[in-house]
Amino acid sequence: MLQNYFKIAWRNLLRNKAFSTINILGLALGVAACLLILQYVTFELSYDDFHTKGDRIYRVLQDRYDKGKLSTQWAGGAQAAGNSFKANFGEVEDYVKVLKRRALIADYGEKSLKVERVFIASESFFKIFSYPLLAGNINTVLAEPNTVALSESVAKRLFGNENPMGKTIKLNQSKAVKVTGVYQDMPANTHLHADLLIPHVTFINEVGKDNNPDNAWMWDGALSYLLLRPDRNGEPANPKALEAKFVPYIQKTIGAELKKYDADAVYTLQPLRSIHLYSHFMEEAEPNGDGKTVYLLLAIAFFIVVIAWVNYINLATARAINRAKEVGVRKAVGSLRGQLIRQFMTESVLLNGLAVGLALLIVVVSLPMFNRLSGQLLSFSLLASSGFWGPLVGLFVTGTFLSGLYPAFVLSGFQPVSVLKGKVSTSRQGIVLRKSLVVFQFAASLFLLVGTLAVFHQIQFMRAQSLGLNIDQTLVINPPIVGTDSTYMRKMLAFKEELLRKSGIRSITASTVVPGQASDWNAGGIRLKGTDESKSKQYRVIGVDYDFLKTFDLKLLAGRNFAKEFGSDPKALIFNKMAAKQLGFDQPDQAIGKQVEFWGETFTLVGVTDNFHQQSLRDAYEPLIIRLIPDVRGYFSIKLASSQINSSISDIRTEWNHFFPGNPFEYSFLDERFNEQYRADQRFGQVFGLFTGLAILVACLGLFGLASFTTAQRTKEIGIRKVLGASVSEIVQMLYREFAVLILIAFVVATPLAWYAISQWLQSYAFRSTIQWWLFAIPFAMILLIALLTVSFQSMKAALTNPINSLKTE
């Protein structure tokens, strides 16, 4: 019997090629889009899920308060947090402390390698985290000073086929260290990626025991992770209960010091597995993902596949009249309703099976393009994983059941006597259902299209705004790594002088960060000289040389720039407008000449600039201090003449290699570097736009099939209207009207939902565009035009048909 069901289903599929093609193609596109998004979402949700102790690992977050108001939120908080909490709370079984460091040069014999991702880690790193150690002792690999652990790829590039264990390498051409461990390259789905690990004890020795960071509560920058002790049932200690214990401990330990500044510090615990999607704080190990984006894409996947299933239901129930006599004959010769339901469900199985097979092919072909679009590295190996086949089987079973069940019950419910007498007609309920489903399809498509336009509008808005500084034609060289000793000042000045002799170079400056980077120098305790310590505030600081303001065309609202003729300028500061206001001056000129306490030293405020965007417009203006450091070790920003870029780069490379030998010449253009901040938003917009387009395409496929069937059902009506004098345009308008009304209803449904979603999404941007009327009008016009074009072929064909042929139709 099952074989017979499939044979009949196959014949019906071939007999109705147009409807079958539309259904299979629509379902295949829907399933393929859903699978691609599910792989993206699954990958994003899989971050740090491989750690065997992951359910017991929590990161310590630090919130700093100033006069009762939240001022900064830190992922990398106080240096003393991890070891102090371990020593004072029994719930903490162990801890690990991780500090991010700048890139360094590693030398072994004749081989020299720049290592980008360098971290300092305390000795429990490999005990707490499940990063496989390929060589070395897990208990001692990070226990001794002047040693390092290397990633497998770095070890391979430095040592080739040699065994690296026990070998000595040089860091930055000066410090000799011994290799005590090699670990497997950290997987893509972790928030920590280290190519080289330096033991924390080395760091302690370098800063000196008098400045032991393990005792420092006012020295931020350490990522601290706690491993909570399990209870008798194997469950970790309650993190909320532990957080509550932190409060009195902090007050007892540093409460008096915080009180002097009218400040406070609150420590909370963040689950390891939530870091990637829900953490965007200061001193993150690397940029993280966005949980809202992930779940929004998951919603899009749901919309697309549901639209595809809706197409099947619409077309299957619309064709019910054509199959009524088949049902009547089957029932007349003894078929039971259950058998008919199984027959029609078999057709659904066959059609969904073919669609899933085609979807699989689409996924394989489109995966490389999707990787480029999304920035992920999904590989064909996913085809062998349960994470791929599970959703695929789930979509097939769910799709077969949901899309096939309702049509099966409708078709099997016809009464044989009525249908064989030709008295069956489309029910009002069926028509309402089909129209409701069409409204749902196009409401979902409109919602997605409005969202896509809003994303790109916000990106364009941010990129079009004035930054308050000039980043055009600016080449940035990464900071030198080696040779930053006592001779650095002389080399730096000579390098700048030589470049300024070149006709293609207009100006050059050095700074700790460049526009587009968050300053990792956060300074608290800053106040006007002579005021109480409780008046202290926190500021972000940029260290610069004399030419920073000139190179970036920063606008001075009051005061002057740094100048060499003022011998006191190494003790000078320039504030931005927001920093001056935070210091207590509403008018910038009131701040000029004031003396400022800065970490026990007295500085003079010599200038106030207008506010400028140090980072993207996603972030609000920050109170910034520009501090003069004549020999600042940082990035070189070089303003070029537009007509001589290639020759200037060649000249710069030559001088760089002369003055800073051993340092790689790595450069980028600042405008491109700044716009990298919007890359995640752009990728999101592209992915959003791609799947919005697919949703519209799938909906239009269904609309084309429905229009074809509707037109065929009204063939005789059209013939009569033409005989009575109706023109071709009148008949086309009549056929258009029905679908235009449905799209108008869809617009009314989608508009308030889209407006609310956009307004909520924009809240994450400090500088955001307004919601314009055209964000809704353009998608409506586009969808209406696409829909009318979709039905045009069938409408024009019906309207141009000879009425004699139409009236002969039975």
**pLDDT tens digits for range 608-661:** 999 999 988 888 899 999 999 998 999 999 999 877 888 889 999 999 999 999
* Residues 6+ positions from 616 with CB-CB distance below 8 Å: 462, 516, 674, 677, 678
Question: How many CB atoms within 10 Å of residue 658?
Answer: 12
Tokens of 187: 């997987």
**pLDDT tens digits for range 209-265:** 777 888 999 888 899 999 999 877 777 789 999 999 999 999 999 988 888 878 889
**pLDDT tens digits for range 48-98:** 999 999 999 999 999 988 888 888 899 999 999 999 999 999 999 999 999
Q: Which residues pair with 510 in a beta bridge?
A: 636
Question: How many CB atoms within 10 Å of residue 502?
Answer: 17
Query: Out of 86-100, 408-422, 705-719, 765-779, which region has the weakest mean confidence (pLDDT)?
Result: 408-422
Residue position matching structure tokens 């919601």: 771
pLDDT of 640: 92
**pLDDT tens digits for range 7-42:** 665 666 666 677 777 778 888 888 888 888 888 888
Burial environment of residue 661 by CB neighbours within 10 A (0 to 12, 13 to 18, 19 or more)? exposed
Q: Which residues pair with 544 in a beta bridge?
A: 511, 628
Mean pLDDT of 444-456: 87
Burial environment of residue 381 by CB neighbours within 10 A (0 to 12, 13 to 18, 19 or more)? exposed
The torsion angles phi and psi of 523, rounded to 5 degrees, stand at -115, 120
Question: How many CB atoms within 10 Å of residue 600?
Answer: 6
DSSP label at 796? H
Name the E strands within 122-212: 133-135, 147-151, 168-171, 175-183, 196-199
Q: CA-to-CA distance for 583 and 81, rounded, in angstroms?
A: 30
Mean pLDDT of 536-542: 89
pLDDT of 420: 47
Higher pLDDT, 794 or 138: 138
pLDDT beyond 90 at 292: no
- CA dist 758 → 413, 461, 621, 686, 763 (Å): 45, 15, 23, 17, 9
Query: Out of 109-118, 172-181, 331-340, 409-418, which region has the weakest mean confidence (pLDDT)?
Result: 409-418
Mean pLDDT of 462-489: 89
pLDDT of 600: 82
Question: How many CB atoms within 10 Å of residue 168?
Answer: 11
Residue position matching structure tokens 């790595």: 666
Q: CA-to-CA distance for 696 and 167, rounded, in angstroms?
A: 61
pLDDT of 599: 83
- CA dist 154 → 127, 143, 159, 164, 182 (Å): 22, 21, 8, 10, 9
Residue position matching structure tokens 């003894």: 334
Tokens of 88: 């004072």
pLDDT of 360: 84
Closest CA to 592 of 683, 505, 512, 528: 528
Query: Out of 137-151, 409-423, 482-496, 762-776, which region has the weakest mean confidence (pLDDT)?
Result: 409-423
Yes or no: say if 368 and 404 are a contact pair by the CB < 8 Å rule: no
Yes or no: say if 663 and 420 are a contact pair by the CB < 8 Å rule: no
pTM: 0.84
Host H or E run for residue 207: helix 200-207
Closest CA to 546 of 584, 507, 599: 507
Residue 705 Cα to chain centre, angstroms = 37
Yes or no: say if 265 and 250 are a contact pair by the CB < 8 Å rule: yes
**pLDDT tens digits for range 771-808:** 999 999 998 888 888 877 777 766 666 656 665 555 55
539 three-state secondary structure: strand
pLDDT of 560: 93
Query: Out of 31-40, 126-135, 194-203, 555-564, which region has the weakest mean confidence (pLDDT)?
Result: 31-40
